Amino acid sequence: MGLRLKIISGFSILAAMLFVAGLIMIFQLKKIGSSIETLFTDYYTSIEAANLMGEALDQHATGVLFVINKDTLKGLDMMKQSDSLFRKSYDQALAHVTVKGEDTLLATIHREYTLYLNQIKQQAGDNTEVTLDQYVNFAHNTIGELRGRIKELAYMNQNAMLDTGNLLQMQTHQTIMPGIIALIGSVVFVLLFNYMVNHFIASPIVRITKAVEDYSRSKKPYKVAIDTKDELSRLSTAISKLLQSLPSR
pLDDT digits (tens, 9 = 90+) for 86-101: 999 999 999 999 888 9
Check residue 63 and give its pLDDT: 87
- First vs last Cα of the chain: how many Å apart? 39
Element (H, E) at 131: none
18 versus 151: the higher-pLDDT residue is 151
The top-scoring range by mean pLDDT among 54-68, 83-97, 185-199 is 83-97
* pLDDT > 70: percent of the chain: 73
pLDDT number for residue 127: 40
Residue-wise pLDDT tens digits, 217-230: 887 887 877 777 77
Q: 64-81: b or e for each residue (b if 16 or more CB lie within 10 Å)? A: bbbbbeeeeeebeebbee
Nearest alpha-carbon partner for 28 in 242, 175, 210: 175
For residue 36, pLDDT beyond 80: no
Instruction: pLDDT band for 123, please (50, 70, 90 cuts).
Output: low
Question: In this structure, which topology does domain 3-186 adopt according to CATH?
Answer: f41 fragment of flagellin, N-terminal domain (1.20.1330)
| Distance from C-alpha of 43 to C-alpha of 215, rounded to nearest angstrom | 82
Q: 146 with 116: CB under 8 angstroms?
A: yes
Amino acid at 249: R
Please check whether residue 150 is in contact with residue 48, taking contact to mean a CB–CB distance below 8 angstroms.
Answer: no
pTM across the whole model: 0.59
List the alpha helices (DSSP H) in the chain.
3-68, 72-94, 102-123, 132-197, 203-218, 231-245
Length of the chain: 249
* More confident: 108 or 172: 108
When mean pLDDT is compared across 31-45, 55-69, 129-143, 190-204, the lowest value belongs to 129-143
Provide the Cα torsion 82, 84, 88, 94; round to 10°: 80
Mean confidence (pLDDT) of the chain: 79
**Model confidence at 249: pLDDT above 60:** no
C-alpha distances in Å from residue 228, one per residue of 3, 26, 167, 190, 225: 9, 41, 53, 21, 9
What pLDDT score was predicted for residue 179?
65
CA distance 228 to 1: 9
How confident is the model over 127-147, as a mean pLDDT?
67
pLDDT of amino acid 131: 62
What's the pLDDT at 7?
65
- The arithmetic mean of pLDDT across residues 192-203, rounded, is 77
The reported pLDDT for the residue numbered 92 is 94
Which SS3 state, helix, strand or coil, does residue 124 take?
A: coil
State the CB neighbour count (10 A cutoff) for residue 107. Answer: 11
How far, in whole angstroms, is CA 97 from its chain's centroid?
20
* Domain limits, the chain: 3-186, 191-245
Instruction: Measure Cα distances from 150 to 93, 107, 141, 161 in Å.
Output: 11, 11, 15, 17
